Amino acid sequence: VTLNFSILNKLQIFLEMFDTIKNPHDAAIALSLMKLTSCLERALGDVFLLIGKDCPFLLRDLLASQEFVSIFGQPVMDVLKVFIGSPDSLNLRNILWHGFVSAKEIPVKYFSMLLFLTAGLGQLLNNYCLQAHSALIHRPYVSFTHLKELHIFPDLNQELLSLAEELVTKSNIVLKTMIPFWIAAITSFQQARYADCVILLLPQLEGGLRVLFTAVNKCPSRLMTAESSSLYTTFDEILAKQLNNEEMNQLPIVLGESAMEFLWDFLNHQEGPRVRDHLSHGEINLNRFPREIANSMLSFSITLLCRFSQDDLTSIKEHESLKLLMTCANNYCTKFHPITQLKKQILNCIKSITSWPDFPMELKEQEISGPGKDTAPCILMINDILSQLQPYLTMNVTLLGNPVNNLLTEKLLIELCSKHIHTLFSPRTMLETIVVLRQISTRCQHVSCQVISVCEIRYEQWINKSLRSRQRLNFLRMRRRWEVLTLKENFNGRCF
């Protein structure tokens, strides 16, 4: 059995699943099935790449690939489709990951069958690899980065977790049949099983938001819809600007901008962690899931439980630790929207550019005059453009005076990049513009790094008197235009 499960690249996790079959409890079967289906999807993608190219993104497209028939056979693939195929099948993966089933609705026999079917796939794959003289290569895991930025809330302590358990039973967005999942998620966090915590939490967060979504948009029939002939109400629609009938989605108004930005950051934005996507597709090493993400996801969920709970919980809501969580949630600003990423790029670019004058230049004054006639048009043009920028700055930041000497201070740059820009549901034209501006900023920083590198080399050659005549003249010309070059690069790097 151990050899057969090598297809999954998560052997220890699947050996633990046999203990779940022996001792099933409220949320254990559902949790194990979610982990099994996600890891199986990842493994099937690895198998596909043995003989195919461009692995399909969607599981249903992956299962429909003819490449698997030559390895596993059509009957085996047909059985697999019954369990995790299209919406016309049992569709266990989707109904679990989207929070449509309660803890007791999935029979243990479904889990047992899929677990042993996975072992059978491993045996068939081993036979194929022996005959084809090939070996299965597992793709590397996705690693979460920017963990400091993902640590949004204070660390959850036992006191807050106890309050969370009480809120679960009193919140209006938690269906009674789903309470065991919430409790299991909190317990998993207490036991430092952070991947399990988030796997259990994500479907319930989606389910809780679906309760709100159907209430505020007056479509109660959408609450538990998971039939093959009906549209699922999932995060994609819940977090969208408009409904499918093109009416405005009322949920963003109810949740508020900060909550929506948190959800978009952690679930949707391409440069964010995209927690649900990576977990549900088996792309994460479950044994090394970061505590920072689990802490943020659970903390945010607790704030939602508190906001949409019964009115008689004043004593809980006034708890200082809980109020601190609420403050963090209410003040959240997006960290992974393209506009925010552009601001980061600009500040990094400016940091590079402002390091230019740090080189010690012991050149004679007569060899370097100030900006000449060739730089005057550039200064006039930038002066004209920046004069139009002044109305958008606060009173304590001024653009008056010589732009070369005192314009681009750190105070000015921070002022510009700290100005709040509404990012929720940004129009396509804005996003397309941001793409271009980010490309410009990237190239500005690249140029800046090249300038620094060249200057270091030329300065050393200057000191050693090893510059040829033309190199010496070019170096002097660059030094003469130094301040204007700095100004232009600064201007290009922040002009958004």
Q: Return the percentage of the chain with pLDDT > 70, whole number.
A: 83
Q: How far apart are CA 21 and CA 111, in angstroms?
A: 8
| Rg for the chain, CA atoms, rounded | 29
Q: Which runs of consecutive H residues, i.e. helices, occur in 175-228?
A: 179-190, 194-216
Question: 406 — alpha (psi -120 to 50), left (phi > 0) or beta?
Answer: alpha
Domain limits of the chain? 6-132, 147-331, 338-364+380-486
Mean pLDDT of 346-365: 68
What pLDDT was estimated at residue 406?
Answer: 42
CB atoms within 10 A of CB 128: 17
Is pLDDT above 70 for 345? yes
- How many Cα atoms within 13 Å fall on the side-chain side of residue 395? 0
Query: Dihedral angle at the C-alpha atoms of 254, 260, 261, 266, nearest 10 degrees?
Result: 150
pLDDT tens-digit readout, 275-321: 999 999 999 999 999 999 999 999 999 999 999 997 777 778 888 99
For the ranges 153-162, 311-320, 402-411, the lowest mean pLDDT is seen at 402-411
Contact indicator for 14, 5 with CB cutoff of 8 Å: yes
> Where do runs of H (alpha helix) occur along 52-107?
59-63, 69-72, 74-84, 92-97
Question: Quick one: average pLDDT of 110-135?
Answer: 90
Which of the four pLDDT bands, split at 50, 70 and 90, describes residue 5?
low
What is the predicted pLDDT for the residue at 16? 83
Write the CA distances from 292 to 10, 153, 157, 194, 325, integer angstroms: 23, 9, 14, 9, 15
Amino acid at 178: M
Q: How far is CA 163 from CA 103, 124, 180, in A?
A: 22, 50, 16
The answer on pLDDT for 439 being more than 90 is yes
Contact (CB, 8 A) for 259 and 162: no
DSSP 373: T
Q: What is the pLDDT of residues 390-399, one digit of tens each?
A: 776 665 555 5
Q: Tell me: the pLDDT tens digits for 161-170?
A: 999 999 999 9
- Span 177-207, pLDDT tens digits: 999 999 999 999 999 999 999 999 999 999 9
| Whole-number Å distance between alpha carbons of 32 and 61 | 23
Q: Report which of 316, 366, 331 is spatially closest to residue 171, judged by C-alpha positions.
A: 316
CB contact at 8 A, 371 and 404: yes
Name which of 240, 278, 296 is nearest 424 in CA terms.
240
Output the pTM of the full model: 0.87
CB-count burial class (<10 Å; 0-12, 13-18, 19+) for 171 = buried
Please, are residues 410 and 347 in contact by the beta-carbon 8 Å criterion? Answer: no
CB proximity list for 248: less than 8 A, separation 6 or greater: 241, 242
Is pLDDT above 70 for 431?
A: yes
Closest CA to 368 of 457, 482, 487, 489: 482
- Give the 3-state secondary structure of residue 279: helix
The residues near 87 (Cβ < 8 Å, ≥ 6 apart) are 94, 227, 228
Where are the extended beta strands (E) located within 182-292? none
Q: How far apart are CA 337 and CA 92, in angstroms?
A: 33
Identify the band that residue 483 occupies on the pLDDT scale cut at 50, 70 and 90.
Answer: low
pLDDT for residue 364: 47
Q: Which is nearest to 234 in space by CA: 245, 225, 247, 221?
A: 225
Q: Two tokens at 396?
A: 């304590």
Q: Are 163 and 322 in contact (CB under 8 A)?
A: yes
| Structure confidence at residue 224 as a pLDDT band (50, 70, 90) | low
Phi, psi dihedrals of residue 308, rounded to the nearest 5°: -115, 60
d(CA 259, CA 243): 19
pLDDT above 80: residue 34: yes
- 3-state secondary structure string across 148-177: HHHCCCCCCCHHHHHHHHHHHHHECCCCHH
What does the alpha-carbon distance between residue 87 and residue 92 come to, in Å, rounded to a whole number?
A: 9
Gap between the Cα atoms of 186 and 189, Å rounded: 5
Confidence of residue 432 (pLDDT cuts 50, 70, 90): very high
Confidence of residue 495 (pLDDT cuts 50, 70, 90): very low
